[in-house]
Amino acid sequence: MRSSLFPQYRRGFATLAAGAVAALAVAAPAVAQPAAAKGDKPQTPPAQMSSVGGAALALPGPQAGAGAPALPKDLSSLSWIVSDADSGDVLAASNAHWPLPPASTLKMLFADTVLPIVPHGLSHTVTDAELRGIGSGSSAVGILPGQRYTTDDLWRGVFLRSGNDAVHVLAAMNGGVDKTVADMQKRADALGAKDTHVRSPDGYDAPGQVSSAYDLSLFLRAGLKNADFKEFCSTAEAKFPGGPSTKGKPFAISNTNRMLSGIGGVPKYPGLIGGKNGYTSHAGNTLAEAATRDGRTLLVTVMNPQTKKRDEVYVEMAKLLDWGFQAVGRTKPIGSLDQNSPAAADSSSARTAAGVKTPGDAADGSMGALGWTGLGAVVAVAGGAIAFALKRRRAGESAE
């Protein structure tokens, strides 16, 4: 949702916009990224992907272990993964290590990194300087310079409204944007998230900024171990402090994670704990969720569905969660989020012993209707990434 929906933000928008600059000014190492513009040819995963967590996770296309029920049909996401939050077992995946722009799902890493340093219960008066440098068209909760907020307010702005303004204020409280980006990269490295290259604290598109379905699941799993993270990501609705335009009265905010809040007609998913959603025109829709049923907690991440139907990312998420709850406890894992576990053994013999189904073995329909071979030619976008980013539409940059 764009910030224009909030009365609080209209008064402060001019100040925010005047200071906003593209978060793309710094040079970054070249990292393969997907095509950004509509009409581009379909994308294919890299010829070589990481085998961190298990050899099967380096294979292109859908993979599931022995004993798995048939995977859902018509999955169009470029990348996805289903895992057990407690054991770390990966039950199924498709292109799990494909480095892709994460959009606002990267805020999970931001929260996992910064929440222990800037916890709830503090208060802070926002300055104009803290709202400078926010990417044009960013989603915002409606923070005003000169107004005092609690850190609980700011974190709800991050999790519910995906507010880049809230991220930048919290980053300032953490020592600044540059320090926060460095801290996030250090945290990603410590978690073994080797596909992730952090360039902005809020997930706003920047050259070289990528993550993967595997890494995003690592971030959600780690974050859920923090009670504050779990509380904030599970919150569907809250009140946010008002300003002059609301005569100081708080106004309601709903979580843009529609599977949690049910806004926009998306059904609430039974047992959903929560997670984080994201969108930019470059990244497409991204979504990571945790849900629990019968004592089992699953993590699912999906990145960039290619089927351009409204709320397709939630449709595919629900399918994979339903599949996961059918599969957990009866399916041989194909890898692990715990990279030192036996399930993560990185060898072809381990993959064979596990009974991993590759695209050639998919007589049960586990390939789905899309299939990995139908994705088409690789599109290189490293050159001209900054020029594209500066030309993209404002609405396309409004992350959820």
The residues annotated as belonging to the active site are 104, 107, 162
In total, the chain counts a number of residues equal to 400
3-class SS of residue 82: strand
Number of Cβ atoms within 10 Å of the Cβ of 349: 9
